Structure formats: C-alpha cells, structure tokens
Amino acid sequence: MEPLVKHMGIAALMPRINVDTDQIIPKQFMKRTEKSGYGKYLFSNWRYREDGTLNPDFELNREEFKGASILVAGDNFGCGSSREHAPWAISDHGFKVIVSTSFADIFFSNCFKNGILPVRVSADALASLSDEIEATPGVSFDVDVEKQELVTPGGTVIRYDLDGFRKESLMKGMDDIDWTLKHADKIHFFEEKQRQKAPWLWNC
C-alpha cells in the first residue's frame, strides 16, 4: 500500500446518492483474487453502453475529468454489500480520495485498508465543492492528510475528522497485514513455545 500524506489531483463530480457497491463493481466482474485489474470495470453499468463504448452521458466520462484522482460524490456512498472489491476498483482506477456527506460503514473502513482517504463533509461543504467543480471543470484540489485539510483554488478550506490509527496507517502506507508483520518476532516466539508445548499441533 502506497503512503498517502499529501495529494493534489483533479476532482471529478458524480452527484449521485446511494451509490451501492454493485454499481461500483458489478458482481459479474468479481472473479479475480488479486486486488488489481478491477479499474476498467468501475461503474461499468453506467460507464459503458451496451455495445461496450463509453457512455457520454455518464459524469465521469467527461473529458475534463480524465485522470481524476479525487471523487466528489453524493450522500451514502458505498452502501450495499460489504465487498472489498469496491475499493479495489476505485483504487485501481486511480482515485485516492472520495468526498461525500456520508459513507456506508464497512465501505468507509475498507477504504482505509486499501490506501483510499474517505472524507466526510457537511452538506454545505459538499455543495461548495460541487459548485467549484461545475464552474471550473478539471479543477484540482489539495488534500493534506497530516493537517486533515482539503483546500481548493477558490479558497475553500475544509477540515475533516480522521481517526489517529487510520491516519497513521495512510501516512505510512500500512494495511492490517503490515501492522501484523511488525510483530513477526513475537509471533515467531509464540509459535516456538507452542511447538514445544503441543508438538502434535504442528504435525499436519
């Protein structure tokens, strides 16, 4: 997982509410065991027409949003099933930050485990960001994880809450496995003691 300390990127606006995980990554594409390779299927039902060509009516297909790494979305983003493939697809597509007034709890947690920063903002703040994107399509926002700030060229400064452990994990680029491996010596010590006390457990 790559560290996320500061990020500046194009902000894309997708003002849809209740975007569920089956729209983020439709179930028919969940056939891979790796985290990579899902980006091309992100929002597939909306992004493509039946003949496989890009749907010009879908917000994220706007030319101004090409290469966007910050997604400004509507309320209750990431609802539905708990599939971790959803943040995998978002990350693989190139999004580093998602801004919304609210997120489904499991999706919110899964974002941090995959190096994505989900930023909760007020309805007024979201409206301000949306207005700036519409006024200047292709505008870039600055996100500072350490300061817990999002800053726009128009002068909007948004402070957001961030749990201390999740903040450290993002800044160090560490997921749950990385944190576990920091205690590899203690795990090995426990295993050796257990092997001596109950050797039959290790004869499989």
Do 194 and 160 share a structural domain? no
Note whether residue 159 is domain-resident: yes
**pTM for the full model?**
0.89
* 1 belongs to a structural domain: no
Domain assignment present for 196:
yes
Within-domain flag for 30: yes
CA atoms within 13 A on the CB side of 128: 15
Note whether 141 and 152 are within 8 A (CB).
yes
Residue 111 sits in the same domain as residue 187:
no
The total of structural domains in the chain comes to 2
Question: Is 109 in the same domain as 189?
Answer: no
Amino acid at position 193, single letter: K
In the chain, how long is the greatest CA-to-CA distance? Answer: 69
| Judgement on whether residues 105 and 191 belong to the same structural domain of the protein | no
Question: Tens digit of pLDDT per residue, the chain (204 long)?
Answer: 899 999 999 999 999 999 999 999 999 998 877 888 999 999 999 999 999 999 999 999 999 999 999 999 999 999 988 889 999 999 999 999 999 999 999 999 999 999 999 999 999 999 999 999 999 999 999 999 999 999 999 999 999 999 999 999 999 998 777 767 777 787 887 888 888 888 887 776
d(CA 62, CA 141): 18
Judge if 163 and 126 occupy the same domain: yes
Strand-pair category, 157-159 with 149-151: antiparallel
Handedness of CA 56, 66, 125, 114 (dihedral sign): positive
Which range of residues forms the domain containing residue 51?
6-173
Do 120 and 155 fall within a single domain? yes
Domain match, 42 and 95 both: yes
Co-location of 80 and 151 in the same domain: yes
CATH code, domain carrying 122: 3.20.19.10
- Whole-angstrom distance, CA of residue 17 vs CA of residue 8: 25
In a domain, 96, yes or no: yes
| Tokens representing residue 64 in the block | 């101004």
Based on the fold, state whether residues 196 and 122 are members of the same structural domain: no
